Amino acid sequence: MVERRPLLTFVAHAVLIIGAAIVAFPIYITFVASTHSFQDIMQVPMPLLPGEHFLENYKQVLIGGTTTGSRAAVDRMLLNSLIMALVVPIGKMSISILSAFAIVYFRFPLRNFFFWMIFVTLMLPVEVRIIPTFQVIAGLGMLNTFAGLTLPLIASATATFLFRQFFMTIPDELAEAARMDGAGPMRFFWDVAVPLSKTSMAALFVIQFIYGWNQYLWPLLITTDESMYTAVIGIKRMIVGGDAANEWNLIMATAMLAMLPPALVVLLMQKWFVKGLVETEK
């Protein structure tokens, strides 16, 4: 702080409190709505304090979904989301750390060509090439499978870049010492490069976990079977029509369940999360 200005500090707190209240408002309303019965929610205005149907609503969606919209059980969806949120980061990191290692620690023909091949994938998000990617997955018979859900999302270079960047900062002396002691490249990889990258991995994992969990367009296209829905898709399938036709209390309970795991990851791993964001810059 450069100087004491009590008035300005007061204004700062006021702005932050208003900002935080507006940001938190939809989440609070969601929680309140998920604890009421359908009749209570349909009142105008809806109640602003939590009700007594918390357990009932959550039990209902976990076991049997909604009654007017999709009846698919949400516990299965949460499992699917979790699988996706784990396979995407782990798959991405495994293939990326290997290729980054090859690009940084070896000189070989076509090295630059391969580097650029990976590099261009940064430019085109899945959203831009949905239909042909869908046809490729359909052609490979991967509709409604976890492979089809995750593989196209793994094909991206963000992690490769992060690991490349990190490997460049490992002092050359380490590689030199390893070589002098007779360690081969893979020995160096497992005993030096991988342990040193743990911080980057943690940061990347948090970002990619959220990315995998929150995927929408891709699962929407390739999961037609209820048992393959992810939680985010499940919410969308519960919305069937106008305001009064939707069981908002159940939809909001599902929304709470769908946002809790990524929110916990963000809040509990805040340090890694911020580091991951600033470093991957995407």
Partner 1 sequence: MEKRVVFRSAWLPYVLLAPQLAITVVFFFWPASQAVWYSFQLQDAFGLSSQFVGFENFRALFRDPHYLQSFKTTAVFSIAVSASGIVISLLLATMADRVVRGALAYKTVLIWPYAVAAAVAGVLWAFIFAPSIGIVTYLLKGFGIDWNWIIKGDQAMLLIIIASVWKQISYNFLFFLAGLQSIPKSLLEAAAIDGAGPARRFWTIVIPLLSPVTFFLLVVNIVYAFFETFGVVDATTQGGPAQATQILVYKVYHDGVKSADIGGSSAQSVILMIIVIALTAVQFRFIERKVQY
Q: How far is the CB of 157 from partner 1 (least distance, A)?
A: 8
Closer residue to partner 1, CB minimum distance, 34 or 60: 34
Answer for which of 235, 247, 250, 253 binds partner 1 (CB under 8 A) is: 235
Q: How far is the CB of 245 from partner 1 (least distance, A)?
A: 11
Q: Which residues touch 162 (CB under 8 Å, ≥6 apart)? A: 96, 200, 204, 279, 280
Answer for which of 62, 105, 143, 226 binds partner 1 (CB under 8 A) is: 105
- 249 near partner 1 (CB under 8 A): no
- 89 near partner 1 (CB under 8 A): no
Angle (CA) 58 62 65, round 5°: 100
Assigned token pair, 262:
């990524």
Q: Which of 249, 217, 256 is nearest to 233 (CA)?
A: 217
Residues in region 113-172 near partner 1 by CB under 8 A: 114, 117-118, 121-125, 127-133, 135-136, 151-152, 154-155, 160, 168, 172
- 224 near partner 1 (CB under 8 A): no
Closer residue to partner 1, CB minimum distance, 55 or 108: 108
Please state, in angstroms and rounded to a whole number, the distance separating the CA atoms of residues 271 and 13. Answer: 23
Q: How far is the CB of 15 from partner 1 (least distance, A)?
A: 5
Residues in region 53-82 near partner 1 by CB under 8 A: none
- Taking CB under 8 A as the binding criterion, the range among 59-67, 68-76, 190-198, 231-239 that sits at the site for partner 1 is 231-239
27-33: long-range pairs with CB below 8 Å, 24+: 27/259, 30/252, 30/255, 30/256, 31/252, 31/256, 33/248, 33/249, 33/252
The per-residue DSSP string of 160-198 comes to: HHHHHHHHHHS-HHHHHHHHHTT--HHHHIIIIIHHHTH
- 51 near partner 1 (CB under 8 A): no
Residues in region 14-43 near partner 1 by CB under 8 A: 15-16, 19-20, 23-27, 29-30, 33, 41-42
Please state, in angstroms and rounded to a whole number, the distance separating the CA atoms of residues 33 and 49. Answer: 9
Answer for which of 166, 205, 213, 229 binds partner 1 (CB under 8 A) is: 213
- 202 near partner 1 (CB under 8 A): no
Answer for which of 12, 63, 194, 240 binds partner 1 (CB under 8 A) is: 12
Angle (CA) 273 278 282, round 5°: 95
Answer for which of 63, 138, 194, 263 binds partner 1 (CB under 8 A) is: 263
Assigned token pair, 108:
């070989």
Residues in the chain: 282
Applying CB under 8 A, the site for partner 1 has a residue count of 105
Q: How far is the CB of 261 from partner 1 (least distance, A)?
A: 8
